[in-house]
Every structure is written in C-alpha cells, then in structure tokens.
Amino acid sequence: MNRHVEILAPAGSYESLRAAVCAGADAVYIGGMQFGARAYAKNLTQEELEEAIDYVHIHGRKVYLTVNTLLKDKEIDQLYEYLKPYYERGLDGVIVQDVGAASYIREHFPGLALHASTQMTITGRRGASFMKSRGITRVVPARELSLEEIRIMKEETGLEVECFVHGALCYCYSGQCLLSSMIGGRSGNRGQCAQPCRLPYSVEGGRPCDLMSLKDLCTIDLLPELMEAGIDSFKIEGRMKQPDYVYTVTRLYRKYADLYCQKGRAGYQVSREDREKLLGAYQRRGYSEGYYRQHNGKEMISFRRPPGREEETAAYPDYKIQEKINGKLILSLGQSARLLLEYGTYRIECEGPKPEPAMRQPLQASRVEQQMRKTGNTQFAFERMEVCMEGDLFLPMQALNELRRDGLAALTDRVLSDYRRKAERTQEAKEEAASSREKRMACGDARPGKASKDPQLALLVRSLSQLKAAVECKEAECIYIDLPPQEIKEAARMIQSVQSGKKHYLAMPYIFREDAALRLEKAYGMIRLSFDGILVRNWESLQWLLEHAYNKEIRGDYNLYACNRFSKRFMQEGGIKRFTAPVELNARELKELDIRGQSLIAYGYQPVMVTAGCIGKTMDRCDAKEGWLHIRDRYKKKFAVKKCCAYCYNIIYNSSPFYLADKAQELLSLEPAEIRLDFSTEGTEQMRRIILDYVRGIIWREEVQAPDMEYTRGHFKRGVK
C-alpha cells in the first residue's frame, strides 16, 4: 500500500512540539492561552506559538490550533484578535467544537482549514455530510465508532478523517460530559474537566470500583485495518503529557505506519521491544483497542487504580532536527562574496564584503568550508558545501560568519513567506461586534421584570405513564416525547386519541448511529404524520430529516450548544427553528445570548453523561431490556442510569433535580417562548406536584416556596468559567 497517512502528535508545550517533529510527526496540534480543551496544559503564549508555527513550517510539517471549547457570546468576538496573528503567520488549521466558532472563523479567516473536533460528536456519514456543507474540511469522529462506520463516512463524504490511535479515552461520548460541571463546577466543555468518571462508584449495593474508567487506547496492531478504512490522520492523545511520551509514541506510530506502506499486511509485524517501549511510555491503567472492533465491553474498563504515580518512564535529553541544505560560496578578487543556498525548490543568493589579496596567510578552502558549516542551533545543516576561490584571498572569519547568518536568515524568510497571509476584517464585521458589545452592556443593567409575552409550559416525558399525565395537564401546551422506538407507535396512538390541542414533538435519540437510522426509517411515515415536529440532539438526525425533505418544525435540544449568536445563526441556517438554551450558562449569560423565542429548561434530572459503555454489561447484569439502574458515588449520592438498549447506550442523570419554580420572575425576565420541565424517573403523582409548582409560579404568578427535597440550581446562578 503506497499511501502516506498523517501522524498527528500532541504538543502541550514547545518542548513537546520539538519532540514530535523530531520523532517524525507530519503535524502537531497545540493550544494557545485561550479556548482550548486542555486548560491545565502548559499551553503556549502568543510569542511561543508564533515561533512554533515557524519552526514547524521550516521542517515542512503542519500545525493545528485547538479552539475546541464552547464560547460564550461575550467571547466570540475575542476570536478575531486571538487568531489574527496565527492566521497571518500561516496557521494550517483549527480544531473546533463550537459550531458558532466554526462559522465565525469561516467568515473572518477565509482559507483556514476547519476541523470538526471529536467533541462535536459526529457519529456517522450524515453528520459528516452536514458539517461538510457548512465549511468543515476535516472531521474527527466520535471515538466510539467502528472501523466500518469510519470507512463508510470516508467513502461517502470525501472529507478528511482524523481518528485517535493512542492515549486516554473518555467514558462519555466524545468527552461531551456534564458530570464534572454539575457536581464540581469545572466544565469539560470549557477545558476544565476534573475527571470524576475516574473515581469509584457502586452499582445497586455492590462494592465500589472504577466502573467508568476506560483503559487507554493502543492501536499499534490495528494500523493496517485503520489505514485500509481510509483514515487520513492518526491522532495521538496527550497534550497533558511530557515530551518523552510524545517522542516515544510518535516515533513508533510513524515507524509502523511507514512499515505497512512499504510492505503491506504480509510484512507488518510489531516487534516485542517496540511494543514494550510503547506500552511503557506512560504507566496508567492498561490498554485496549478501544471501540474499533467492538461496541463496548468490560475488558475495556480498568476497575482498580494502579499503585504509584502515573508518569512517563523513558527519557530523551534533546530534541533536535536540522533540514539538509546545499551551499556554494564564491570568492574572487574585486567581487563581492556570494553565498548560494538551496533547500528543496528554494534558491537564495546573498552578498558579502569583497575579499582582499592575502598578505601572509591566504584562505584555505577546507578551512572556509569548515567555518561555513557551523550552523549551530539553526534549523539547517549543510549536506553539501562547495567553496570556489580564485587566487590567494583574505576575508575575516567574522565576515564569513555574518554572510552565513544572513544567508540562513534569508532562506528562512523565503520559506516562511509562502505561509504568510493577511487578515482583513470588514467594516460590517466591526460594526456587528460593536453592536453586540453595546447589547451586552444593556443586558447587564437589566433587572428581572414581567415578560413581554407569557411563555408556554412544555413537558418532556420519558415513559408512557408520564406521557398520559402530560396529555392530561391542561396548562401544558407542548410535549416532547422521548421514548424507545418500540413505544413510538403507542405514543402516537395515545396523543391521536385524546385530541388535546397540544403540540407534540418526538425527541430523537442522543446518539444517532446507523442502527438508530434503520429503526427510525421503518417508522418515518408514522413519525411524519403523528407528530407536530422533531427535537434533534445531534447533527446526524438533523441531516437525516433534511434528506427526507421533512417539512414540519425541527427544534434543537440543549446539547447542540447554541452558546453564542453565531451558533444560533448556524442552527437557523441549518433548518432548526427553535433551540434550547445551553444548561451551562447562568441567567446573566442567557440574557446576553438573548433567548427570546427559544426554549429554556427549568426542571429536571440533568443527563450528565451519554455513554456507549453499558454499566449493566460491565457488572455482568445486562438483560438487554430498556429500564433503569442506579449507581452511587463515594458520598453515597445516587445517580439514575437509563438503559437505552434499542440504541445501545446508557444515560447517567444527575443525583439531584434542577429546580427553579421559586425563581419564576427571573425565568420570565429572560422571555423564553417556552419553559420546559424534563421528567425522567418521577412517578405521575410527583410529576403533577412539580408541574403545579411551575404553573403557580409562571402562569398564575403566585409565590412558590423552595421544595422540601434535595435539589440544585444547576448553573442558573453560578454558571461555569
């Protein structure tokens, strides 16, 4: 197989970047001081990052900047000044999670490659196709995909596909987890995950164990299959790790990717020595091959934390690489010294002082060549250095040194000039940003008051019994129905028999892979006829509806993350009529975002994790039936787990419900089109009591007292940094 695959290495520091390049990486991904998903990495200052871009380009490699966090509306305009120096320096691409950030970058920095982060949770060809239509040039799919799904994605979209091949794995789909955020205020979507999934939990009275701690990924034995699946870039996780790890892992994946290209499957074999080096580069919890050949399994879990520190074991004292160049120095009497340099297709000529006749000791060609070859810590080294002299000449060694330095500097500038470009911000963009700042300032001075229009009360239900209670609720005007596919027909029959005048929306699954598409395809006719619209939670299901020319209303759930005005625009242009406000914004930020006309969740056990892992299966309790189980953390907090067997994923809910009925005035001041109550494990009586609280506060405008139960305000008050 004669196909070169990109080895993409992490660079959490400048030293790690040098280690990656020396180890043979084709590209590195690196974070600056803002907007990266590894806020606790060293990350690079502007000066360091500009230098890093130049360093990588001199060596013919690429650099991708991580802009893979969610951006609040007040932050989106900071992107221009943040990215401008890197864009003009020649940055090769950005890795983005926030669809608003992607839209902003496409608009303000034309030609800059946009890579959809794995945190966009692209789980198939449909999501990839949708992102391609929005300007994405490369997709990093969810790490839970199989090789076959990746192959289909590549073949049907033609997009560049980048997949993780080594390093840590998140238990949650694509790391889009709210667990750290909800229980500790440190948002994984903002680069500050505290990794609570790595802590022990118990299942319904069992002994505590690290049941959500995945082993690290190692695919060195799968490289032939990965390459044959059409993957363009092999990504190594590890921006929090040290240069030694980066060097070791990058070097070995480079070696074996090249080996397969040269010798094919027949000649592909990983040596015992190299395997030991790879697995010993970082002592953690063991390794697995991830999800490429299996959907889940207990063998992927590290149930016990190993003793000792998790740290690198190898040591490489220096990371230095120099590009080979050819030079020719011409010295003749009465003529300026001329230095000609060649590097690939680049040709540089520099002039120095004129040599003088030698009075005592003429220059020796061998001595001059030796001096010219002293390139020191520059990025170049002479492969061939020719010295041409006519007669007995003299020129100070200092002059030769200066000529060499000038020549290498000119060669560097010439190489880098091909990467330079100019950023131009339109007057329209400047005015739009200024208008947004004025709007935020005005919002900051606003006080809670009576909404200009009363919002509707909406209910989201997750069982047929809850649906029956919702249908009977006179005050509710909209119902979102989140049921397994085998119950959709019964739900449709129930709402048609009542004729309540309410709007009914079918909630798509949180994860929409090919099995979900096949199941829902069979029911599409009934879905289109029986429901007033669809609530989508991922880009796959949105594209699925677009492919069917779906002509009813499409709404977006909170986990599509409309955190700024550009992400709002992205959704509107994509066909989403109404979005649900993100749950990690506080009241002030929601005001700044302007959620008038949108949906706002005001009650519910918040889903903190959607995982391909099956807790029941992990603990040998899987019965392949829809239902619930419970886990407890070290503080005895109880978390409900929904087994979504039809789509083969688990949903873990927060231990306490989000409750704001007693904050009705603050909710109303945001002027949402609807206030939504999400139900999960609640019985019908409890459900009715909660609904009554919100009816009293929002519709009847009565004073409501805080409930006599454990609850949380979520992020409505505190938000996240």
CATH classification at residue 539: 3.20.20.70
On the CB side of 187, CA atoms within 13 Å amount to 19
Backbone angles phi, psi at 636, to 5 degrees: 70, 15
Is position 436 within any domain?
A: yes
Is position 87 within any domain?
A: yes
| 505 in the same domain as 460 | yes
| 593 in the same domain as 493 | yes
Domain count, the chain: 3
Domain that holds residue 129: 6-169+214-300
Q: Ramachandran region of residue 122, left (φ > 0), alpha (ψ -120 to 50) or beta?
A: beta
CA atoms of 486 and 646, how far apart (whole Å): 8
| 393 in the same domain as 254 | no
Quick one: pLDDT at residue 623? 85
| 384 in the same domain as 454 | no
Is position 196 within any domain?
A: no
| 332 in the same domain as 296 | no
Single out the residue of 62, 25, 61 nearest to residue 254, CA to CA. Answer: 25
| 289 in the same domain as 338 | no
pLDDT average per 10 residues of sequence, the chain (721 residues): 86 93 96 67 83 97 94 93 96 96 95 96 97 97 97 97 95 86 84 87 91 94 96 93 93 97 94 93 83 94 67 60 96 94 96 92 93 94 95 93 97 97 76 62 46 84 97 95 96 87 96 94 94 97 97 97 96 96 95 96 96 92 89 94 95 96 96 98 96 96 92 91 80
**606 within 8 A of 653, measured Cβ to Cβ:** yes
Give the global pTM.
0.92
Residue 400 structure tokens: 């030769």
Give 538's DSSP letter: S
Is 449 exposed, middle or buried, given 0-12, 13-18 or 19+ CB atoms closer than 10 A?
Answer: exposed
E strands present in 279-345: 287-288, 323-331, 338-343
Per the listing, tokens 């909710």 go with: 667
| 330 in the same domain as 265 | no
Question: Which residues are CB-neighbours of 511 under 8 A, at least 6 positions away?
Answer: 121, 123, 173, 538, 610, 612, 647, 649
Quick one: pLDDT at residue 424? 85
